[in-house]
Amino acid sequence: MRRSTARNSGTDLDEASQKNDIATQDEAGSGQNGESLGSSSITSQAYSRLRSDIMSGALTPGKKLKIEELRGRYDFGSSPIREALSMLTSDLFVERIDQRGFRVADVSEKEFDELLRTRRWLEERALRESIAHGDNRWEEQVVLSAYRLSRVPRSQADDQFVANQEWEIRHKHFHMALLAACPSSIMLKFCDQLYDQNVRYRHLSGSKAYPSRDINAEHNAITDAVLERNADLAVELLMSHYSTTGNFLKQKLSPKKKA
């Protein structure tokens, strides 16, 4: 979405480039925004705050988003809020009902199933295309992002789970790097969107006690398969990577059917 114009072909992996990449990979954001908190328009700030409050669950799924209330909560004018909500609508984080305002997108096991399913479809395609079209530079980016991801712990604490923002960022970066050579920016945009949706579910399911499986190993296996250009294997690994996480989340999501 925001990739550096990157038309410098071939090999370049110098220090400067690395630092830039690191500096650039923050501020996830599904696409529309592009600006960071701090600077820029009030609308963008509102967008960021609302977005993260929805993703974190601070704003409950299905909750009515009353302008007046938000105006108080964040101390922005109503125009920026309205505009931000509009933007969040395209990210599937907010639903708008004509003449009846906005509400936080609802979640359900059914929706989650659909999300996961769709993600599989799109990412399989995107990964195959990416493997088929990727050049050297792409390979390097995969290696690099895999390495960077591995350098940072999933949880900030050892005994219990404490979300590590930096891990989140690098994790997304890694998964997007896998797909990056897919020759369709639209496709990448969709995958980006769905990825973020998934993160939301992960947060909402409050997966504090995260699974003990060796996620790093899984990532490495995928990386290897990708570098060998073994599309079938890479896809298989990626898909089961998602299935595992998915089932785990689903289980946490609906602790009802127990008896």
Query: Which residues inside 74-93 make contact with DNA, applying CB under 7 A?
Result: 76-80, 82-83
Nearer to a copy of itself, 83 or 225 (CB): 83
Contact 50, 88 (CB under 8 A): yes
Q: Which string of b and e fits 97-127 if b means at least 16 CB within 10 Å? A: eeeeebbbbebeeeebeebbeebbebbbbbb
CA dist 119 to 17, 124, 179, Å? 31, 8, 12
d(CA 55, CA 32): 16
CA dist 23 to 108, 130, 133, 181, Å? 36, 24, 26, 21
Point out which span in 111-119, 164-172, 205-213, 227-235 binds a copy of itself (CB under 8 A).
111-119
66 lies in the binding site for DNA (CB under 7 A): yes
59 lies in the binding site for DNA (CB under 7 A): no
Point out which span in 41-49, 127-135, 210-218, 221-229 binds DNA (CB under 7 A).
41-49
44 lies in the binding site for a copy of itself (CB under 8 A): yes
Applying CB under 7 A, among 64, 133, 208, 229 the residue interacting with DNA is: 64
Nearer to a copy of itself, 51 or 148 (CB): 51
Return the one option of DNA, a copy of itself, none that residue 125 interacts with (CB less than 5 to 8 A, by type): a copy of itself
Return the one option of a copy of itself, DNA, none that residue 185 interacts with (CB less than 5 to 8 A, by type): a copy of itself
From the CB of 90, what's the least distance to a copy of itself, in Å?
A: 3
Nearer to DNA, 97 or 209 (CB): 97
Applying CB under 8 A, among 48, 49, 83, 176 the residue interacting with a copy of itself is: 83
Strands 94-96 and 102-104: antiparallel
Residue with tokens 């298989």: 236
Structure tokens at 213: 């499986």
Strands (E), 16-128: 64-65, 94-96, 102-104
Return the one option of DNA, a copy of itself, none that residue 61 interacts with (CB less than 5 to 8 A, by type): none
Contact 206, 55 (CB under 8 A): no
In sequence order, which ranges of 136-230 are alpha helices (DSSP H)? 136-150, 165-179, 185-204, 215-227
67 lies in the binding site for DNA (CB under 7 A): yes
What residues make contact with DNA under the rule CB under 7 A? Answer: 41-43, 64-68, 76-80, 82-83, 96, 98-102
What residues make contact with a copy of itself under the rule CB under 8 A? Answer: 32-35, 40-41, 43-44, 79, 82-83, 86-87, 89-90, 92, 96, 98-99, 114-115, 117-118, 121-122, 125, 183-187, 190, 194
